[in-house]
Structure 1
Amino acid sequence: MNHIVLATASSGIAANILPGGRTAHSRFKIPLKVLPSSMCSIGKQSALAQLVRQSTAVIWDEAPMTNRDVFELVDRTFQDIMDVELPFGGKIMIFGGDFRQVIPVIPKGTRSQLIEASIMRSSFWPATRILRLRQNMRSINDHRFGEFLLRVGDGSEQVIHDDMIRLPKSMVIPWQSDQSIFQIIDRVFPNLGDHAGDARYMVDRALITPLNNDADMLNEKIISMFPGEEISFYSFDSVEDDIRNLYQPKFLNSITASGLPPHMLTLKTGAPIMLLRNIDPKLGLCNDTRLLCRGSYQNLIDAEIMTGEFVGSRVFLPRIPLQSAENAGLLFQLTRKQFPVKLSFALTINKSQGQTIPHVGVYLPDHVFSHGQLYVALSRGISESTTKLLVKKGSIVGEDGIFTKNVVFKEVLFH
């Protein structure tokens, strides 16, 4: 119909799935720190403002995982651009997402703060019309698995004390010793040595776990098993205005803040990696894009995009300075010059949201700690037979079977 529709998503991996997709932060120039009076960095006479005026609608995927303050910021900006005091300046906004999944992250937030950050608490929500999608396309060939996922997401699966649910026996690898970790690696990545450099094999498989530290541990174990010559790249770390040299390089190197690559990045040709920054969204290089390392040099990584619209494209990634986030828990802002990637044999559950992983392994050394994490972890797979869980012995093994905790805030679910 020759209308302009802007395709955006809350996460980079979800944006890559959309033709011409961009992250909402990239498309609308949303500031990283959102204040009650903040506006997007869009001048009223700019080309982007003109594009917004000409567009008929905006698609925003994975909306429930974004803080409502971000939506209200875009709402104010659109009203200013359009000079119309209607929600989003009268533009049609098509929000997509599943409230059973991970909701906005509030560092050290209470239950009420987490729920208040939901899009359902935003000022424009009363004007929103809800259209329900009822068919799980991932598990369309395993209806029993799909029904189990809905019960987990809705919090209606039968529980024992402390919201512990029983896991299907066919999906669980019982914890016996540390060797069980290698067992789940072998289940998810069978004959790993024969598939180095096989993009289809790598993109269809991943291990996911709640915490970054556990994901890093799994990546280290798998890269040591991966064939080929190992190459390590070391970062250059610094703290701005550290005139007295209070922070020694050895201490800075030991920091692994969320969103930053490791100080020592170990790669092998053919290994899967994940992008940690928006490098060039127009060419598919968004945060969370999965790539395959085709070669590495002192200041360049040769990589192939494995997901999204630009799958198969070859790109070169340089070393760039990356800064730690304000909520990283540091007393200073760390600047790390390193390749903006990390290994992606294993991902955190939050990072995996929006991806379909036909052969997925879920490593739970402890309980999930946030709403929707268990649902997201289980629903990455396509069937009960291709989804495997490794749960650690002790806290989550009961007399009647193997149990794990399910965190669900029913206040953010539709019924």
Structure 2
Amino acid sequence: MLSSMNKNVQCTAWTGIASTLLSNGRTSASLFKLKIGNDSKTSNHSKGSNETKKLKEVDVIIWDECSMISKTALETADFVLRDLPDSPFSFGGKRIVLGGDFRQILPVIRRGTKTDLTNNCIKNSYLWNQFQKFSLLDNMRIINADANWIKFLLDVGDGVANDYEDRVTLLESLPVLEDLVDDVFGGSNKGKDTFVPRITCYEDKNLPFHLKRTQFPVKLAFAISINKAQGQSFGRVGLYLPEDVFVHGQTYVAFSRARSKNELFIKSTSERLFNVVYKEII
């Protein structure tokens, strides 16, 4: 819609995976030339570079997964966008649209305490009060899910589902599996002798040498951390939890990657999972 109004829009997200899911997406570090791991509000942007000229022409910046943005990164972006046109206005007068869910994972600080993590959240930035806040009435990722599953996810994210030990008891319909790989990815032919066709690739007889390649139609499956899964949805989710989660939002993010409870499978030593929620953030 903004593009149809001749607005120059740039999409960005904090992580590389999340940015690839956006149209014309770039990581925040790449867009603003942020110095990752540096607490000072500095950037590698050069006023005469082509990158800087393109950034000056942007009208609207859509910044997704904002719960993962650090306070320092947001304030550095403000500094960069003010500095490019030498503007007194926040973000150089550009429109900044943040999107995200603060039930999800916060900025990562190596060996950071709860105080470190909450203080580094963008809600504690001097810029936060300049944003107008809107809330979605429906969870678009699981909009067709049953009401009990939606309520369970929200209760996990808000910490309402926690008992006195900050643990969540899984729904009876969520299986705790012995063999995660077989149960999640075994498919409809699990336990059966199945024909896997062998594919012989095209052989070019005009070549001066003999070339033939044989393939089998087997799909690869990958394992990623909960943090890297943020921003994505999957057809089936196998959640392996040999140990407790250790930071705000990880349990909620892990559960909500599945579009319905029928797509989530868990391998854990207990049916009571630890759930870290910093209620002062949500």
TM-score by length of 2: 0.84
Could you list the runs of 5+ residues in structure 1 that have no partner in the other structure? 175-179, 197-227, 230-267, 273-343, 397-401
With over 3 angstroms needed to count, the CA separation of the structure-2 counterparts of 1:270 and 1:77, relative to structure 1, is farther
Judge conservation of contact 2:118–2:281 (CA < 8 Å) in 1.
yes
With over 3 angstroms needed to count, the CA separation of the structure-2 counterparts of 1:156 and 1:43, relative to structure 1, is same
Q: 1:100 is paired with a residue of what secondary structure?
A: coil
- CA distances 1:307-357 after superposition (whole Å, capped 9, x unpaired): xxxxxxxxxxxxxxxxxxxxxxxxxxxxxxxxxxxxx62111001111101
Residue 32 of structure 1 and its aligned partner are, at CA, apart by 2.1
Distance 2:47 2:218 in 1: 46
Within the alignment, does 1:406 sit opposite 2:249 as a pair? Answer: no
Higher relative contact order (CA 8 A, sep 6+): 1
* Equivalent position of 1:189 in the other structure: 185
* Equivalent position of 2:113 in the other structure: 110
* Equivalent position of 1:60 in the other structure: 63
Correspondence list, 1:7-406, <5 A: 7-38=11-42, 40-142=43-145, 143-157=147-161, 159-173=162-176, 180=178, 183-191=179-187, 272=220, 345-392=222-269, 396=270, 402-406=271-275
AA matched with 1:185: V
Residue 194 of structure 1 and its aligned partner are, at CA, apart by 7.7
Judge conservation of contact 2:41–2:73 (CA < 8 Å) in 1.
no
- CA distances 1:161-193 after superposition (whole Å, capped 9, x unpaired): 31111101211225xxxxx2xx22112212489
AA matched with 1:347: I
Residue 195 of structure 1 and its aligned partner are, at CA, apart by 8.6
Q: What is the alpha-carbon root mean square deviation over aligned residues? A: 2.3
Distance 1:41 1:105 in 2: 22
Distance 1:100 1:194 in 2: 45
Distance 2:134 2:40 in 1: 29
Q: 2:81 is paired with a residue of what secondary structure?
A: helix
Q: 2:254 is paired with a residue of what secondary structure?
A: helix
Could you list the runs of 5+ residues in structure 2 that have no partner in the other structure? 198-213
TM-score by length of 1: 0.58
Judge conservation of contact 1:10–1:66 (CA < 8 Å) in 2.
yes
With over 3 angstroms needed to count, the CA separation of the structure-2 counterparts of 1:12 and 1:270, relative to structure 1, is farther
More strand by share: 1
Choose 1 or 2 for highest CA Rg.
2
Judge conservation of contact 1:34–1:70 (CA < 8 Å) in 2.
no
Residue 75 of structure 1 and its aligned partner are, at CA, apart by 1.0
AA matched with 1:404: L
- CA distances 1:176-227 after superposition (whole Å, capped 9, x unpaired): xxxx2xx22112212489899xxxxxxxxxxxxxxxxxxxxxxxxxxxxxxx
